[in-house]
């Protein structure tokens, strides 16, 4: 037996032993995974629900076409100029399924799963007419301390796949997080906005001036983080800002 075959045999045997001692389960259905499956079984992967269209980040109204997006007057905003982000495109609602997958990606550090989700997000975003007119992809940055703790920026992984899918340049350095903000999870809408106020900065405004930008994060809830990032991009001269996330915390009954 060749050294390569011996090495492969040992590797497969090790996997079999580990699977027997520590059986891996699907993040969605909790059933045991086959050897060729990672983190999620193929049945659950193929059945993941996808949202049909992009939507308003403030009132969560779906836009069925470009005209609906351009003509939208959001009732949640006092002034039209407060609409810093035109639309958001997400894969799905932040239900138990997406919550488990994103948690496994971010906190269990399952980067291959994150890249798989990111690839699907890139395909979905590339199918949106409004997003195809953009010039640049920018991830929401992590503070350096948080990045050291986690080992990666999940938003950058998503942005990299969107950049590839759309053949658009990625700029991961033009937007910086200068404040190590509190976790937004247990904050209300007002507290979230205050928590991220002035948390970001633009390093070189000329890199975003007159550009149409896709801003990327993992989840949108109230939109406070994305909105604050968009505010800084606008101050830097960005012409138009759209956003993309893996999931959205939906608060409209029609989404259920």
pLDDT(93) > 60:
yes
For the stretch 123-159, pLDDT in tens is 999 999 899 999 999 999 998 888 888 889 999 999 9
Instruction: Report the chain's mean pLDDT, rounded to a whole number.
Output: 87
Q: Report helix, strand or coil for 86.
A: coil
- The tokens describing 41, both together, are 């079984």
Strand 212-220 with 175-177, pairing: unpaired
Q: Which of 27, 62, 21, 53 is nearest to 41 (CA)?
A: 27
What kind and span of H or E run contains 166?
helix 154-166
What pLDDT shows up at residue 37? 85
CATH topology of domain 48-255: Rossmann fold (3.40.50)
Q: Which of 138, 123, 102, 133 is nearest to 220 (CA)?
A: 102
- Domain-wise residue ranges, the chain: 1-47, 48-255
């Amino acid at each position: 037996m060749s050294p390569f075959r011996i090495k492969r045999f040992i590797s497969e045997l090790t996997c079999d032993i580990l699977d027997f001692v520590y059986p891996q389960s699907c993040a969605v259905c909790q059933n045991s995974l086959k050897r060729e499956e990672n983190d999620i079984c193929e049945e659950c992967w193929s059945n993941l629900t996808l949202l049909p269209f992009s939507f308003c980040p403030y009132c969560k109204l779906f836009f069925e076409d470009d005209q609906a997006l351009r003509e939208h007057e959001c009732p949640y905003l006092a002034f039209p100029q407060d609409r810093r982000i035109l639309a958001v495109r997400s894969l799905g609602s932040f239900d138990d399924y997406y919550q488990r997958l994103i948690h496994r990606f971010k906190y269990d550090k399952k980067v291959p799963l994150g890249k798989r989700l990111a690839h699907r997000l890139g395909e979905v975003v590339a199918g949106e007419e409004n997003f195809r007119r953009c010039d640049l992809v920018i991830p929401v940055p992590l503070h350096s301390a948080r990045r050291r703790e986690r080992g990666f920026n999940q938003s950058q992984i998503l942005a990299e796949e969107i950049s590839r899918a759309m053949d658009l340049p990625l700029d991961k350095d033009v937007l910086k997080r200068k404040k190590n903000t509190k976790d937004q999870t247990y904050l209300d809408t007002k507290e979230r906005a205050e928590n991220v106020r002035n948390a970001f900065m633009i390093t070189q405004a000329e890199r975003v001036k007159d550009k149409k930008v896709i801003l990327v994060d993992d989840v949108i809830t109230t939109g406070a983080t994305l909105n604050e990032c968009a505010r800084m991009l606008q101050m830097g001269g960005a012409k138009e800002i759209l956003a993309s996330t893996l999931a959205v915390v939906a608060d409209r009954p029609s989404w259920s």
